[in-house]
């Protein structure tokens, strides 16, 4: 893969990651508001209502996964600034562009990811 073509692709991915970062920040900010409203609404009654508890647990899980995604997106953007984006942080090899396109936050090459998951 030509270096120039690769850096062009990576700048396309940066635009995607920046959009994704904005979206996640807004999602998280919005779910913070919702949680506060829920607390205000349910604090005096129906606190033990199973549906409410379930909803709150689900929202909390959703927000945690959004926060984790945001962290990964921010990490990927930071690596772009460092010039280490697209390089496997375990073996130092270039990560396949097809893999980066499928998973722009990837910080491991497919081989290392596989090794870690199966170790």
Q: Which residues bind Zn ion (CB under 5 A)?
A: 88, 90-91, 109, 112
CB closer to Zn ion, 25 vs 90: 90
**How would you class 48 by CB atoms within 10 Å of its CB: exposed for 0-12, middle for 13-18, buried for 19 or more?**
exposed
CB atoms within 10 A of CB 77: 19
CB of 35 to Zn ion, least distance (A): 39
CB of 111 to Zn ion, least distance (A): 5
CB of 108 to Zn ion, least distance (A): 6
CB closer to Zn ion, 52 vs 110: 110
Tokens 């945690």 sit on residue? 64
CB of 13 to Zn ion, least distance (A): 18
Q: Which residues lie below 8 Å from residue 20, measured CB to CB, with a gap of 6+?
A: 69, 73, 104
CB closer to Zn ion, 6 vs 63: 6
CB closer to Zn ion, 10 vs 112: 112
> Which tokens belong to 59?
């929202």
Give bridge partners of residue 87 from the DSSP assignment: 94
Cα 10 from Cα 80, distance rounded (Å):
8
């Amino acid at each position: 893969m030509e270096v120039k073509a690769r850096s062009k692709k990576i700048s396309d991915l940066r635009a995607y990651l920046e959009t994704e970062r904005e979206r996640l920040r807004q999602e998280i900010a919005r779910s913070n508001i919702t949680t506060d409203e829920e607390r205000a609404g349910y604090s005096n009654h129906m606190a033990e209502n199973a549906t409410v508890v379930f909803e709150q647990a689900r929202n909390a899980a959703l927000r945690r996964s959004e926060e984790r995604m945001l962290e990964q997106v921010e990490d990927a953007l930071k690596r772009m600034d460092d010039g280490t984006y697209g390089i496997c942080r375990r073996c130092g090899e270039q990560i396949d562009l097809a893999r980066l396109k499928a998973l722009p936050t990837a910080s491991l090459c497919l081989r290392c990811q596989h090794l870690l998951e199966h170790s």
